[in-house]
Amino acid sequence: MTKLIITVLGKDRPGIISHISTILYERDCNLENVNQMILQNQFAGFFFVEAPSDLSLDQLQQIFIEKTVDTGLTVHVNRLEGNCHATDDFLPEIFLITTIGPDQKGLVARFSSIIATFKANIVNLKAVFKGGSDPTANVMSYQVEILPGVDAQAMFQALRDKALELNLDIRIQHKNIFDAINKI
Amino acid sequence: MFDDHEIMSTIEMVKNENLDVRAVTLGINLFDCVSHDLGVFKKNIREKIISHAADLVHVCDAVGDKYGICVVNKRISISPIALVAAPFSSDQMVEIAHELNDIAKEVNIDFIGGFSALVEKGMAKGDKALIAALPRALAETQRVCASVNVATTKAGINMDAVLEMARAIKLAAALTSDTDGLACAKLCVFANIPEDMPFMAGAYLGVGVADAVINVGVSGPGVIKRAIERNLKDQKPNLGEIAEIIKRIACKVTRVGELIGREVAQNLGIQFGVVDLSLAPTPTVGDSIGEIFQALGLTHIGVPGSTAALAMLNDAVKKGGAFASSHVGGLSGAFIPVSEDLNIAEAAHKGYLTMEKLEAMTCVCSVGLDMVPIPGDITEECLAGIIADEMAIGMINAKTTACRLIPVPGKKAGDKVYFGGLLGEARIMKVAHLDLKDAFVTFGGQIPAPIHSLKN
């Protein structure tokens, strides 16, 4: 048994999940985990599967190439390496870092590089820049995992300084307050 | 994972709708500090309070920073001083007030509450000494808050205490005539005082409560107002639906309070007590109870319909709070303090809100006649009559009521008073028949507790 990850990219339309999962089913692959998202009109999906031992990575890749040739989808098959489950030894603290303000070139690059410098991991990023004065139309929101050893206060200060320099409103709040308010 | 709406609505509540944690109040039991020696007693209370409260401000700020929500006030409530300092004279009680004031400054909190007595069924030696000490204690200190419970539903109203309190209020005002009677803003007269309230000036630590406890007061009138306005803009909800909107928002706000309170309590190693979700205004536009009435389609708080609107608001807030947390306590409802709310002060000034209507509204609000500046030449008897009326509302309806009345020396109805900070400013409200010296309140004795059957 081999663990594989199938990445599917392409213009969204009805039937993508069905198409991919049917191919996997026909090859006796067991789906363990699926996630997908749609950004504007583009589909991205991740399929974690356990493949039978007589099916190689290359064979599966070839099957997908043949079966998706006219669909406009790009499919990559890779071996899944490392432990895919987070260990419970260190439960990370998750903070939401949200900036509100007009689009400027390089915003995501500038903020994410600060987060990377402090070795904190971005587990989710949403950025919307539609222009105009509606604050909800120009928002970046990072969910950042902070493990012991990360100097969170220094990182928050660096992010606040950067936001001030770029004239953006920044909010840094622990995830639990969003849970308390929204997840009842 | 949160969607955009969840993230933005949470940020909006804090950023533009003035959601904050109004008070984290650390309750500290002082019964183990008792001594017949004033020096020893003062030393004991200093050691006990500082040992528990040294990190309070720092921890509250750190937790507030973590969640991006401001803990505006850090406070301490203590066991009633009339009980733990019962052997002392009124002069010695004033000394104790000074000691408490110094301790409050040392631990950097803005108010310490519990310079209090519970006299609903009679006054003991310590109670009398404390009440006699009130005017000086409040005039000579800045951070000490006092409360006296003169009535309960089960005991009735102690009318001797009511008259004593009217005298104490007049005297406290006279001693602080240069600041518009500011001492009275730190003094509440209660019926059915709650033991776990985090809000000043009435906070004290009940006798049946743990050695140390964290109680949290959350506010959020701006959040409620905006929620009503948003829904009225998009659709046309009826009042049942508006009550539901208020309830849901109150639930969210309460959960924020519990989150903060529990973390502060955990970091201090102290038991968590209650969340008190009270809509407490500040003199800031957008942080007003009066504005909620306007959002509900009333010209101003005080016009016909206001009592019904307040009843709905108060009940919806309680229901939302009770759903959100099993540890809801204190007052949990809507305050209508006149000077602390720009909009209410304006309604009073324009004549929409009168003393009589205010009293009627206190039948359904969470407290009572709160931060009401009245003419300084009101007689003791008339003042005692107002207090007795308010206590009767609490006693009969089995609810908390309180009076925080400020008879401003040398000023008349319509004159401007300024208390500053959260206490705000207002015009003095007109009190009818304030020169009467009717005998009723001077008869003294006890108005008996009401019958609990045959309710009509």
Interface check for A155 against chain B (CB to CB < 8 A): the answer is no
Share of chain A above pLDDT 70, in %: 92
Mean pLDDT of all residues in A72-95: 78
Q: How confident is the model at residue A83 (pLDDT cuts 50, 70, 90)?
A: low
What DSSP string describes A138-167? EEEEEEEEE-TT--HHHHHHHHHHHHHHTT
Q: What's the mean pLDDT in B112-120?
A: 97
Choose the mutation target among A39, A181, A182 for the interface with B, i.e. most B CBs under 10 Å: A181
A interface mutation test: which of B3, B9, B10, B20 has the most A CBs within 10 A? B10
The per-residue pLDDT of chain A, averaged, comes to 87
8 Å CB contact between A19 and A26? no
- Distance between CA atoms of B253 and B279, rounded to whole angstroms? 10
B168 and B207 Cβ atoms separated by less than 8 Å: no
Interface of B with A (CB under 8 A): 1-2, 4, 6-11, 13-15, 66-69, 251-252, 255-256, 258-259, 324
How many other C-beta atoms are found inside a 10 Å radius of the C-beta of residue A17? 14
In this complex, how many residue pairs, one in chain A and one in chain B, have their CB atoms less than 8 Å apart? 66
State how far the Cα of A162 lies from the Cα of B428, in Å rounded to an integer: 49
Task: Indicate if the pLDDT at residue A9 is higher than 70.
Answer: yes
Position A40 pLDDT exceeds 90: no
Which pLDDT score, from 0 to 100, does residue A85 have? Answer: 53
Interface contact flag, A177 B324, Cβ < 8 Å = no
Can you give the pLDDT at residue A87?
54
- Which of B66, B251, B252 is the closest to A174 by Cβ? B66
SS3 label, residue A121 = strand
Average pLDDT for B83-108: 97
Average pLDDT on B83-105 reads: 97
Beta-carbon separation of B251 and A184 below 8 A: yes
Name the nearest CA neighbour of B207 among B333, B86, B325: B86
Residue B146 has pLDDT above 60, yes or no: yes
- B183: confidence class by pLDDT, cuts 50, 70, 90: very high
Do B384 and B376 touch, CB atoms closer than 8 A? Answer: no
Residue A172: its chain B contacts at CB < 8 A? Answer: 68
Of B72-81, B174-183, B217-226, where does mean pLDDT reach its minimum?
B217-226
Listed residue (B249, B257, B290) closest to B276, CA to CA: B257
A141 CB within 8 Å of a chain B CB = yes
A181 close to B (CB below 8 A) = yes
**pLDDT of the residue at A135:** 62
How high is the pLDDT of residue B6?
Answer: 84
Least confident span in A73-82, B62-71, B265-274: A73-82
pLDDT at A124 over 60: yes
Contact yes or no for A182 and B2 at CB 8 A: yes
* Per-residue pLDDT at B172: 97
- The alpha carbon of B416 is separated from its chain's Cα centroid by a whole number of angstroms, namely 23
- Nearest residue on chain B to A100, alpha-carbon basis: B8
The CB density around residue B422, as the number of other CB atoms within 10 Å, is 21
pLDDT over threshold 80, residue B38: yes
Above 60 in pLDDT, residue B138?
yes
The tokens 């950097």 sit on which residue?
B108
Is residue B373's pLDDT more than 70? yes
Interchain contact, A180 vs B11, CB within 8 Å: no
Angstrom distance (rounded) from CA B143 to CA B104: 7
Instruction: Please indicate whether, in this complex, the C-beta atoms of B4 and A135 are within 8 angstroms of each other.
Output: no
pLDDT, mean of residues B85-96: 97
Identify the closest residue of chain B to A143 by CA–CA distance.
Answer: B1
Q: What is the pLDDT of residues B390-437, one digit of tens each?
A: 999 999 999 999 999 999 999 999 999 999 888 999 999 999 999 999
Q: Which of B1, B68, B324 sits opposite A172 (nearest CB)?
A: B68
pLDDT, position A89: 65
For A180, the closest chain B residue by CA position comes to B255
The answer, for A42 touching chain B at a CB cutoff of 8 Å, is no
Q: Which residue from B432, B433, B287, B430 is spatially nearest to B349, judged by alpha carbons?
A: B430
* Cβ neighbours of A50 (radius 10 Å): 14
**A176 in B contact zone (CB under 8 Å):** yes
Q: What tens digit of pLDDT does each residue of B226-271 get?
A: 989 988 887 889 999 999 999 999 998 899 999 999 999 999 999 9
Q: How far is CA B223 from the centre of its chain?
A: 20
* Closest-approach residue (CA) in chain B for A172: B68
pTM: 0.87
CB B151 within 8 Å of CB B120: yes
What pLDDT was estimated at residue B234? 79
Classify the C-alpha dihedral A21-A24-A26-A30 as positive or negative: negative
Q: B-contacting residues of A 68-107, CB under 8 Å?
A: 96, 98, 100
Range of lowest pLDDT (A78-87, B146-155, B417-426):
A78-87
pLDDT of residue A136: 65
pLDDT of residue A105 exceeding 90 = no
CB contact under 8 A, A181 and B6: yes
Which residues in chain A have their CB less than 8 angstroms from residue B258's CB?
180
Contact partners, residue B78, CB within 8 Å, separation at least 6 = B27, B28, B29, B30, B45, B49, B84, B100, B112, B113, B114, B204, B205
Please tell me the distance from the alpha carbon of residue A70 to that of residue B329, in angstroms, as a whole number.
65
| Beta-sheet pairing, B212-218 with B271-277 | parallel
Predicted confidence at residue B15, as pLDDT, reads: 80
Q: Report pLDDT for B284.
A: 83
Percent pLDDT > 70 in chain B is: 100
Which residues of chain A make contact with B69, given a CB cutoff of 8 A?
173, 177
- Residue A88 — pLDDT band, cuts 50, 70, 90? low
Are the Cβ atoms of B8 and A172 closer than 8 angstroms?
no
What is the pLDDT averaged over residues B43-55? 96
Q: Do A171 and B66 touch (CB under 8 A)?
A: no
Within 8 A of A160 by CB-CB distance, chain B residues are: none
Question: What ipTM did this prediction achieve?
Answer: 0.76
DSSP letter string over B62-103? HHHHHHT--EEEEEEEES-HHHHTTTS-HHHHHHHHHHHHHH
- Report how far apart the first and last C-alpha atoms of chain B are (Å, whole number): 52
d(CA A111, CA A176): 22
Test the A interface: residue of B66, B249, B263 with most A CBs within 10 Å: B66
Distance from CA of A100 to the nearest CA of B (A): 10
pLDDT higher than threshold 80 for residue B88: yes
Token pair listed for B34: 């008792």
Chain B residues inside the 8 Å CB shell of A124? 1
Q: Which of B253, B254, B257, B246 is nearest to B311 (CA)?
A: B246
pLDDT of residue B334: 87
B79 vs A107, which has greater pLDDT? B79
Lowest mean pLDDT among A63-67, B37-41, B87-91, B111-115: A63-67
CB count within 10 Å of CB B323 equals 16
Confirm if A139 and A99 have CB atoms less than 8 A apart: yes
Look at the alpha carbons of B228, B231, B237, B240 in this order and tell me if their dihedral is positive or negative.
negative
Query: Which of A70-84, B72-86, B214-228: highest mean pLDDT?
Result: B72-86
Domains and CATH numbers, chain A: 2-79 (3.30.70.260), 93-182 (3.30.70.260)
Q: Do B252 and A180 touch (CB under 8 A)?
A: yes
| Model pLDDT, residue B217 | 92
State the average pLDDT over residues B300-316.
95
Cβ <8 Å between B6 and A124: no
**What string of DSSP letters covers B197-260?**
--STTT----TTS-SEEEEEEE--HHHHHHHHHHHHHHS---HHHHHHHHHHHHHHHHHHHHHH
Q: Which of A76-90, B47-61, B76-90, B371-385 has the lowest mean pLDDT?
A: A76-90
CA of A95 to nearest chain B CA: how many angstroms apart? 9
pLDDT, chain B, mean:
93
